[in-house]
Amino acid sequence: MKPWMRKFVGVIGVTAAAVTIPVAVTPSAHADSAYGCNYPEVCFYTDTHVQSAIVARFKVVTSSWQYLKYPNTNYAVVNTRNDDVAYVLNSSGTVNCVKPNGSYSSAERVVAVRISSRSTC
């Protein structure tokens, strides 16, 4: 192979590598956390303020209720999931729905949560 041909092939190879590198290192989409609650969790706080301590974290989509180990009154809940709603069961039997990337607070006693793959309440 002639010297000018080697240079040409080398330039083509470097150019091809430079074109493919950005594609290989492009980061995928990343969801954010909120108020100390990591994606993709549904978190419960000790009172109606999301600045209070987190007392429970749930991640699993289920068809049944997941009961809180220590149910409490006056709570806040944050849903960091992008596409899933969280149903919150109160001791009175009422159910509240927390939208994706939403939050909710109540003076009622929270008992359980059910994360659903539905995207709307």
- Count of the separate structural domains present in the chain: 1
Confidence band (pLDDT; 50, 70, 90) for 1?
A: low
Q: pLDDT tens digits for 24-42?
A: 433 334 457 888 999 999 9
- Determine what percent of the chain is predicted with pLDDT higher than 70: 74
Instruction: Give the bridge partners for 115, in sequence order.
Output: 61, 86
Residue 18 falls inside a structural domain: no
Q: pLDDT tens digits for 61-96?
A: 999 999 999 887 889 999 999 999 999 999 999 999
Report d(CA 33, CA 41) in Å as an integer: 9
Residue 3 falls inside a structural domain: no
pTM of the model: 0.72
Residue 5 falls inside a structural domain: no
